[in-house]
A and B are shown apart, each in its own frame.
Chain A
Amino acid sequence: MGTENVLVRMDGICKEFPGVKALDNVDFTLRHGEIHAVCGENGAGKSTLIKVLTGVEHNESGKIYLDGVAISPKTPMEAPALGISTVYQEVNLCPNLSVAENIFIGREPIRNGKIDWKEVNKRSEIALAKLNLKLDVSGRLDEYSVAIQQMVAIARALDISAKVLVLDEPTSSLNKIEVANLFRIMRKLKSEGMGIIFITHFLEQVYEISDQITILRNGQLVGQFETAKLDRLQLIAKMIGKDLAEFEKTIKEDVRDAGAAANEDAFYQARNLGQQGSINPFDIKIGKGEVMGLAGLLGSGRTESARVIFGIDEPDSGETEVDNKKVEIKTPADAIRLGFAFCSENRKTEGIVANLTIRENIILALQGKRGMGAYLSHKEQEEIAEKYVKLLNIITPSIEQLVGNLSGGNQQKVLLARWLATEAELLILDEPTRGIDIGAKAEVQKLVLQLAADGKAVLLISSELDEMVRCCSRMAVYKDKQKIGELKGAEISEINVMKTIAGGQK
């Protein structure tokens, strides 16, 4: 391969944040008609690399060339004009605008001096249809789940005709079918000569779609490799510097233990729990020491059930028991007082508080539970924060760093830490490993199983079926806002979940 056909070249890029060398002399080359994966652990510098390319961050040294011409975008507004279309890791849309407005914001078709809304809606529908998605495009974006929001962001990026498409973890909350749809389009764009940068922590996706892999570690370039010539273990070894096969074995063993440990004592029990319009009444029982899974496709009602259980949406039917005592849960505060924790899938808007420090974020729920008066001393706060930073391996120069400055995966770990710190009896984990790298993911899964082994009740939601199969000892399956069945023990497998969903009412 020569220098011909090069679409983007980044040369010796350096970017430093206080206490962090996010990019240290990194080179990167993207060619026409190439899908180029960027791999690395949380905080390796992947997002920073693309933010430098799109003008969100400014490199201290190094040069960027697009089609051989030196560019240095100063603001994220310039990149699309140059032909770079981006889906950022954190969905960067306007939650209070409609889906269609979000897809066309900043480039609305004008007719007779006015925005042609009919055209906007029509073209939005077409853009979404390409992803096999049918939505009411005039509905507000924040009425849809994170996964749909992610799809909308993708639809928007795909609709901007560009030379370079950048996708930073676009599939983190998508399931297999949606990923397949996205990949189909990516292949088509690739055949038309577009260059695509694709960041993900799902290695099977890397192998499925990419031609080249660039690996980063601690802000440094490990190397660029042809996907076909680098096997999975080599890739992992290069990313983290150790062998991952060990990890996976230990997990499998733990699962079996946890499955056996599940006892009959129900910690939480609900009958006929529901909320009109969001989730049809369902029964559920979560035992001490078990990991109960909520499975189902997008919009099936799994997240909605979790929200009703936690009191975010006040249930309008049903009764609940905690430890065999009747209780009423109308607000998250009620639930937390009863020993619940809820780690939301939507870490940006419902999870972290970006302007507060890691320390403050981690103790926030615990302090909320203790109330205003019993303020944890600064020293206690530091101890708790340090403990979880270590436990979850949160990469940061200090616990006084603002959470908004952390990499996506590390933000997710902070959110997880916040709820672990409350030492809850029932942990509701909605996509707890979203955006977390492969090593840390294994650690989190182990942690979940450990919690169950310690007698806690866990309710797990994950769009990654293999994660669910690995961790859950029982699983409720949802479809069309309705619980349609339950699987337990050996019945739990990806095939059986799919069968249950396909079979409808069980």
Chain B
Amino acid sequence: MESRKKMDKRLIDNQLFWPLFALAVLLVFDFFYLKGFFQIEIVEGHLYGSLIDIVNRATPLMFMSIGMTLVIASGGIDISVGSVLAISGAITAIMIGGDLVFVDGVQHHVAHYPMAVAILVALVAAVVGGLWNGLLIAKLGVNAMVGTLILLVAGRGIAQLIVDGNVITVYYEPFFYIGSGFFLGLPFSIYLVAAFLALIMWLVKKTAFGLFLEALGSNRVSSRFTGLNVQKIMWACYAISGLCAGIAGIIVASEVKSADANNAGLFIELDAILSVVLGGNSMAGGRFSVIGSVIGALVVQTLTTTIYAVGVPPEVTMVVKALVVIVIYLIQSQMGMKTLKTPAASAGEGALKAGEAKS
């Protein structure tokens, strides 16, 4: 029994091992090829440097990968997150707006609506988007890819309607703090991710949500027969995914001080899915690791930053990125297979094989 416990730990560690390994390889590459990559400076009490920059830039993606993990674990997928991000950004930008007013000859920025209200409305809209996905997929049984495709297309249209086709610039200093402010020396958005991650980990580990989700993702019929409220759990996953995209939208809008309904979050759903996969999660649903996906998001962002920093011509960045992703993925799955083959951990492979034989 004792030894088995050790085995279990090793299996779990295994899932995090490969994403961490990929991250390490990228960082080592950067260390040798990019001068001063690991330099961190303190400017006005704030930490600056490429590493900090990567983490800071990765925050929207980290949020989305958290939501995406839950959706994928439930056996679905959410490709609407980019559009939800755009909607949320558009709402925040247009509601805060910001006017330049002179009070006694001194410049002041004034928000149209209080910032808290704007953020709340944006988040509610994002959650409603998620619930809409849930309605189609959990309730009406639409295929997840098709169901979220609807919002992917319609959502961007809605975002454009909100901003009336314009790029909305925000003039309101306090709002910028979310995406580019510093707290105790570190970018503020990092704290947001940490807090949200803690909340989700609590939900997944300290309530039965994680267990139910894994059961549902592995065998939906059994889960229903066991009395689990399958619809509600799926609905929750899509709502959380929407919420994550909403938060990401606010961070992005705050960071670039504007909302661009055409380009904000374009193709980011692909990066989010990629993060989940590179985090060692199965696209088939069931077992999942949120932490793995967050590391996956860091891998994706590090890769993107590296490619730009190395000076790959813009025309081919996407191709280079794709190639590196394929290599990382192959290494992960091949090497993962091999380590699983050691007696201690071949249970997973056994299950795969059993599945092969039985399906």
Contacts and interface: CB of A to CB of B under 8 A. Distances in A.
Interface residues of A, number: 51
A332 B226 contact: yes
A386 B108 CA distance: 68
A18 interface: yes
Contacts of A335: 227
B53 interface: no
Given A56-B353, A90-B358, A332-B227, A375 B222 contact: no
Contacts of B209: 372
Contacts of B7: 18, 398, 400
B287 A355 contact: yes
B139 to A, nearest CB: 14
A365 B224 CA distance: 10
B269 interface: no
Contact of B354 (A19, A354, A371): A354
A344 B212 CA distance: 19
B359 A367 contact: no
Contacts of B228: 333, 364, 368
A268 interface: no
A57 B351 CA distance: 11
Given A353-B219, A365-B226, A368-B227, A17 B350 contact: yes
Contacts of A404: 350-351, 354-355
Contacts of A336: 226-227
A92 B357 contact: yes
Nearest to A377: B206
A332 to B, nearest CB: 5
Interface string A384-424: 00000000000001101110110000000000001000000
A56 B4 contact: no
Contacts of A342: 225
B344 interface: yes
Interface residues of B, number: 42
A240 interface: no
Contact of B212 (A16, A352, A372): A372
Contacts of B1: 398
Interface string B218-250: 110111111111000000000000000000000
Contact of A360 (B3, B215, B348): B215
Interface string A362-385: 001101111111111000000000
A351 interface: yes
Contacts of B348: 402
Nearest to B350: A405
A375 B206 contact: yes
Interface string B324-359: 000000000000000000011111101101111111
Given A348-B358, A398-B4, A398-B7, 14 more contacts: A17-B350, A18-B346, A51-B357, A56-B353, A56-B357, A332-B225, A335-B227, A342-B225, A353-B219, A355-B214, A356-B214, A368-B228, A398-B5, A400-B7
Rank and list the top 3 A-B pairs by shortest CB-CB distance, nearest first. A398-B4, A336-B227, A368-B227
Interface of A: 16-19, 51, 56-57, 76, 88, 90, 92, 94, 312, 331-333, 335-337, 342, 344, 348-356, 360, 364-365, 367-376, 397-398, 400-402, 404-405, 418
